[in-house]
Amino acid sequence: MKRNCLSLITILLFAYAAAFSQTTVTLNTSAAKTTINKNIYGHFAEHLGHCIYDGFYVGDTSKNIPNTDGVRNDIVDALKKLKIPNLRWPGGCFADTYHWKDGIGPKDKRPTMVNKWWGGVTEDNSFGTHDFLNMCELLGAEPYLSGNVGSGTVQELADWVQYTNFAGKSPMSDLRKQNGREQPWKVKFWGIGNEAWGCGGNMKPEYYADEYRKYTTFISDWENTGGLTRIASGASDADYNWTETLMKNIPGNMLGGVAMHHYSVIEWNHKSSATKFTEEQYFATMKSALNMEELVTKHAAIMDKYDPQKKIALVVDEWGGWYDVEPNTNPGFLYQQNTMRDAMIAGVTLNIFNNHADRVRIACLAQCVNVLQAVILTDKEKMVLTPTYHVMEMYNVHQAATMIPVTVKTNDYTLGTEKLPAVSVSASKDAAGKTHISLVNIDTKNTQTITVNVEGAQYSSVTGRILTSSKLQNYNSFDEPNKITPAAFNGASLKANTLSVKLPPFSVVVLELN
């Protein structure tokens, strides 16, 4: 009995210490110099499941859902509120089977194709280049086109650039005008293939580097100021040899960015349910999400060897959580719900990107509507904004702001013998002089007491918003679309330029200091 009492006392002491120990954050405002590129907050729309069809696009004959040329007005409004900076299309794996000329001209004359990657469904090509680029204009977003290298040709991609970007007289600009578009769209971002190491052709990095050089030789855009940003198909996760090979073998003047893909997944063959997951599965997912820090750091270090002036962007154009599909849905459609776990992934990942803004300058969440870690879910006329949407809306204050370097000494989130850093932080100062601090507590049980010391600036007030819920597995459904929404946060106080914050379990908070 005595031993049991001592054990109980020990457990209580540890619990007390965990609850009241401090996390310290230091903001060095005088060292703020790097702009957080707004394109870090980009999105991805692939011809996959119901992302395009019955997602973005309901067709221009739809009577029940308000739309503009077939694109849902409610989705456009929601994404404009996010300040969506760029949208990547048409894939993904789909891009290297997509022939863009099949998606232009009269819709009733467009050929069909089979989407061999995602569900084996027949694609009627009713949503094509004009539809996508006009939609980007509605959104106020830069289009990011993924070119077909796997099954396409150099001529095909060069023609696409001319079709979308050339204002003068040429075969492709004449064809564009014939199809109803007088002025070019001036597309800036071009991906030269996708996942060339896998579904894009199962290439070796040396071979792909040569293919990239060949394709980019014939892709130019002298009319547009600044030219094109040509982005190489980059590494999967920790394939550092891929990045090294590209940086070593492709001249810097041909390379605008190098991509990298990383999904937060437990095991590819043993994923969890999107909503019915254990704490062990949550912990494993967050461990994978936080691995983004190591991946970005090591890929950036390789790029620094060949590009010390950091002219070439690291482009994380696919990221997010990947789980089992929802029950009774097509497994090839990758439709999953979105819980507070996804809010945690979004918060820590965006903090990592912000803190590496010197090299990470474009990123795309996978995917925008109805696929993987979507910000929007639809069901006929209904639309739901997910917890991930709300995190990205809260964080859009960082877009084009100046990154403030942060030093974080955090408590651990422990489960059994494993531990992860409980608190993630990034900060920035906007053009109006306001400082924003985004904080995430991934711990499922413990409130984090945080002291934020600010060096080099003076503040008189603090306000904030929080995203959290009563249960980690909670989500917004079509029956309860507002179960999880941002609320005013009153857990921060400012005294003598020191900020004290009490950050609840599994919560995301964005503070504004004036």
Residues with a known catalytic role: 195, 318
The pair of structure tokens assigned to 122 is 């027949």
The pair of structure tokens assigned to 121 is 């469904």
Burial, 210: exposed, middle or buried (Cβ in 10 Å; 0-12, 13-18, 19+)? middle
DSSP 397: G
Residues 6+ apart with CB under 8 A from 44: 87, 88, 89, 92, 317, 318, 364, 365, 366, 367, 368
> For residue 76, what are the CA distances in angstroms to 54, 133, 225, 317?
14, 13, 28, 21
The pair of structure tokens assigned to 501 is 């914050």
| Total Cβ atoms within 10 A of residue 327 | 7
Helix axes 340-355, 279-290, angle to 10 degrees: 20
Taking the C-alpha atoms of residue 291 and residue 440, their distance in angstroms, rounded to an integer, is: 16
Q: What is the largest CA-CA distance in the chain?
A: 91
The answer to whether residues 321 and 373 touch, using CB atoms and an 8 Å cutoff, is: yes
Residues 6+ apart with CB under 8 A from 216: 192, 230, 254
The answer to whether residues 44 and 95 touch, using CB atoms and an 8 Å cutoff, is: no
Taking the C-alpha atoms of residue 57 and residue 135, their distance in angstroms, rounded to an integer, is: 10
The pair of structure tokens assigned to 26 is 């230091």
With H, G, I as helix, E, B as strand and everything else as coil, classify residue 159: helix
